[in-house]
């Protein structure tokens, strides 16, 4: 089958999948994974590895991920590389067909894993062209669909994409957050041994608010010397304080921070008033900014990948970071109480803040994702060092 074109041309022979954009563009391909259809925002990720972690990252809820690297799925899947058991990305768009897995850690085929998880895949797509389109026109709403017999109602799919309201104004954190409080027991992973267990010694107690957290964040908090209790996104200030935290962590997550902030911001403001140490990552960073009086806005195309350079303003050190965000703290109008600590070297957007006079800071990127690979672990040590 020929490479996909952006047109309303007739369906190519052998097409069993399709991506239909809200502007009417139809992108044909070969469906794999789950059958059916899903509607969301199309984004692109530039990572060469970690597709299983990407697909299980709750921050991708409501999104269809285009992988710019052509060979996705070729090392299979395993149970150790999941970031969460809740829903992450809706589907995946890739260049090459998924081949049989070739890796000593593989426990299964990625296409079958997608099917088991109810996620749709689309291969045979010119992902470079799609990525250029997103860069020029912004991240579009779309429907991804897979039908083995190749029959699709394109007009209905276009309408569904057009009717979807988009991520702006959408609170997804409460949909992907855990619903019960639990103590975190795992630690970091080592080859041959898997994940370790959290030490039982007396450690500073961190309460982590789960807005759609990646499990590896909690493991790194343990590695840095903390004892972690994870609570749901909508946990009240009184309930957080009742756990007597030495510090509070604000996790990553999906959706519009302003929408999640309706219930999250008052909690964080209460923590800041009591000078409780606070550390936020991604959505948690944005919530911290809102609590301090900053504003957030939706980005044109977002930042997603494992190769994003970020400048640390205090000493001009550049960190190579992993990112996944479509919203950002607006650094053009920061209040006097907020210090900008990190910026993206791609576009100058905000990537870190500290609250003046408080033991509170946040970063937009993911220090737990080993992008550098160890460029950013110091942030966990910095936070735990604040806890006494």
Q: Which residues are catalytic?
A: 282, 366, 368
Round to whole Å and give the CA distance between 279 and 383: 7
- 18's tokens: 């399709």
Picking from 266, 257, 217, the residue whose alpha carbon sits closest to that of residue 239 is 266
Q: Determine if the peptide bond prior to 373 is cis (ω within 30°).
A: yes
Q: Give the helix ranges, DSSP H, for 181-282.
A: 215-223, 237-242, 257-273
Number of H helices, E strands in the chain: 10, 19
- 68's tokens: 């710019």
Secondary structure of residue 136 in the 3-state scheme: helix
Residue 137 parent element (H or E): helix 127-137
Round to whole Å and give the CA distance between 291 and 300: 24
Round to whole Å and give the CA distance between 375 and 388: 24
Cβ contact 237:271 at 8 Å:
yes
């Amino acid at each position: 089958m020929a490479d996909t074109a952006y047109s309303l041309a007739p369906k190519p022979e052998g097409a069993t999948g399709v991506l239909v954009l809200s502007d009417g563009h139809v992108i044909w391909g070969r469906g794999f994974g789950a059958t059916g259809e899903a509607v969301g925002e199309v984004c692109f990720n530039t990572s060469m590895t970690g597709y299983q972690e990407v697909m299980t990252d709750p921050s991708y809820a409501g999104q269809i991920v285009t992988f710019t690297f052509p060979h996705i799925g070729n090392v299979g899947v395993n149970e150790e590389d999941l970031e969460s058991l809740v829903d992450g990305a809706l589907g995946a768009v890739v260049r090459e067909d998924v081949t049989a897995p070739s890796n000593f850690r593989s426990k299964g085929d990625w296409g079958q894993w997608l099917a088991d998880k109810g996620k749709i895949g689309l291969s045979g797509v010119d992902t470079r062209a799609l990525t250029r389109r997103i860069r020029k026109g912004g991240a579009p709403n779309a429907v991804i669909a897979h039908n083995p017999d190749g029959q699709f109602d394109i007009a209905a799919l276009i309408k569904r994409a057009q009717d979807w309201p988009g991520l702006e104004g959408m609170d997804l954190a409460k949909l992907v957050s855990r619903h019960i409080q639990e103590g975190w027991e795992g630690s970091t992973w080592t080859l041959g041994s898997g994940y370790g267990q959290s030490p039982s010694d007396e450690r500073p107690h961190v309460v982590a608010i789960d807005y759609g957290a990646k499990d590896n964040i909690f493991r790194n908090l343990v590695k840095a010397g903390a004892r972690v209790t994870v609570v749901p996104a909508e946990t009240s200030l009184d309930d957080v304080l009742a756990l007597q935290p030495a510090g509070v962590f604000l996790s990553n997550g999906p959706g519009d921070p302003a929408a999640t902030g309706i219930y999250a911001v008052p909690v964080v403001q209460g923590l800041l008033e009591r000078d409780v140490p606070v550390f936020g990552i991604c959505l948690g960073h944005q919530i911290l900014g809102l609590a301090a009086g900053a504003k957030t806005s939706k980005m044109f195309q977002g930042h997603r990948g494992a190769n994003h350079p970020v400048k640390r303003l205090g000493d001009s050190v550049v960190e190579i970071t992993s990112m996944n965000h479509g919203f950002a703290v607006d650094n053009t109008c920061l209040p006097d109480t907020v210090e900008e600590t990190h910026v993206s070297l791609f576009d100058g957007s905000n990537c870190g803040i500290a609250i003046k006079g408080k033991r509170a800071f946040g970063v937009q990127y993911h220090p737990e994702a080993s992008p550098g690979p160890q460029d950013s672990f110091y942030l966990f040590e910095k936070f735990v060092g604040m806890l006494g």
